[in-house]
Chains A and B, each alone.
Chain A
Amino acid sequence: MAKILEGIRIFDLTLAAVGPWATKLLGALGADVIKVEAPGGDRLSHAVPPTIKGDSVLYISANHNKRMIELNLKTEADRAIALKIIEKSDVFVQNMRPGAVQRLGLGYDVVARVNPRIIYVSASAYGRSGPMAKEAGIDPTVQAFCGWCSVTGPENGRGEMYRHLAHIDLTTATTITQAVLQALIARERTGRGQHVEIEMLTAAMALQTTRLAEYFATGEQPRPLGSAAATTVPHQAFACEDGSFLAVGVERDEQWPGFCRALKLDELIADPRFIDNPLRVQNRGVLIPILSERFRTKPAAWWSIRLGKEKVPNGPFLKYDSLRHHPQVRQNDHIVEIDTPHWGRLQVDGLPWKFDRTPAGPIRAGGKPGEHTVEVLAELGISDHRAASTSK
Chain B
Amino acid sequence: MNAGADGSLAGFRVLDLTQGLCGPFCTMQLGDAGADIIKIEPPSGDFARRMGPPFVGGESAAFLSLNRNKKSLALDLHAPEGRTIARQLAANADILVEDFGPGRAHSIGLGYDDLAPANPRLVYCAISPFGEDGPLKDFPGSELIVQAMAEYTASLGRIGDPPVRVGADVASVNTGIFATQAILAALFHRIRSGEGQRVAVSQFGTLLHMRGIMWHSMTDPDDWYGFHLDHYTRPPDYGYQAGDGALYFILRRGSSEDWDRLVLELGMERVLEDPRFGDFGRAATSIGRHATAVKPIWEEAFKHRPRQEIIDLVKSVGGDAVPIMDYQSLIAHPQVEALAILVDVEHPTAGQFRTIRPVARYSETPDAVVSPPPLLGQHSVEILRTLGLGETAIERLRSSGTITGG
Given contacts A164-B155, A355-B182, 18 further A-B contacts (CB under 8 A): A5-B185, A50-B221, A144-B246, A160-B157, A185-B187, A196-B362, A198-B359, A209-B356, A214-B54, A221-B326, A245-B162, A248-B145, A278-B55, A316-B148, A323-B151, A331-B131, A349-B211, A355-B197
For residues 146 through 190 of chain B, which have their beta carbon under 8 Å from a beta carbon of chain A? Answer: 146-157, 161-170, 172-174, 177-182, 184-189
CA distance A138 to B218 in the complex (A): 23
Say yes or no: is B2 at the interface (Cβ < 8 Å to chain A). no
Q: Which residues of A contact B47 (CB under 8 A)?
A: 251-253, 277
Asked if B213 and A61 sit within 8 Å, CB to CB, the answer is yes
Say yes or no: is B65 at the interface (Cβ < 8 Å to chain A). yes
CA distance A247 to B148 in the complex (A): 7
* Contact mask for chain B residues 35-70; partner A; CB cutoff 8 A; 1 contact, 0 none: 000000000000100111111100011101110000
With A221-B328, A356-B197 as contacts: A130 and B153 at CB distance below 8 Å: no
Say yes or no: is A313 at the interface (Cβ < 8 Å to chain B). yes
Secondary structure type dominating chain B contacts: mixed
What are 14 inter-chain pairs, A to B, with CB distance below 8 A?
A51-B222, A126-B335, A136-B252, A161-B238, A164-B231, A212-B327, A216-B354, A276-B50, A318-B149, A332-B134, A334-B204, A352-B209, A353-B179, A353-B200
Min C-beta distance of A249 to chain B, whole Å: 3
Q: Which residues of B contact A249 (CB under 8 A)?
A: 141-145
Q: Which residues of A contact B217 (CB under 8 A)?
A: 50, 57
Asked if A144 and B208 sit within 8 Å, CB to CB, the answer is no
Partner of A174, one of B149, B155, B177, B214: B177
For residues 81 through 136 of chain A, which have their beta carbon under 8 Å from a beta carbon of chain B? Answer: 126-127, 129-133, 135-136
Partner of A311, one of B140, B206, B214: B140
- The stretch of A65-73, A229-237, A262-270 in contact with B is A229-237
Asked if A171 and B248 sit within 8 Å, CB to CB, the answer is no
CA distance A131 to B323 in the complex (A): 14
Min C-beta distance of A107 to chain B, whole Å: 13
Secondary structure type dominating chain A contacts: mixed
* Complex: chain A residue closest to B129, CB-CB: A313
- The stretch of A34-42, A176-184, A372-380, A381-389 in contact with B is A176-184
Q: Which residues of A contact B337 (CB under 8 A)?
A: 130
Q: Which bucket holds chain B's interface residue count?
A: 35 or more
Say yes or no: is A357 at the interface (Cβ < 8 Å to chain B). yes
CA distance A197 to B362 in the complex (A): 7
Q: Which of A25, A236, A356 has its CB near the most chain B CB atoms (within 10 A)?
A: A356
Q: Which residues of B contact A158 (CB under 8 A)?
A: 236, 238
* Complex: chain B residue closest to A198, CB-CB: B360
Min C-beta distance of A344 to chain B, whole Å: 7
Asked if B187 and A178 sit within 8 Å, CB to CB, the answer is no
Say yes or no: is A77 at the interface (Cβ < 8 Å to chain B). no
With A217-B54, A276-B50 as contacts: A175 and B359 at CB distance below 8 Å: yes
CA distance A63 to B246 in the complex (A): 34
Min C-beta distance of A392 to chain B, whole Å: 37
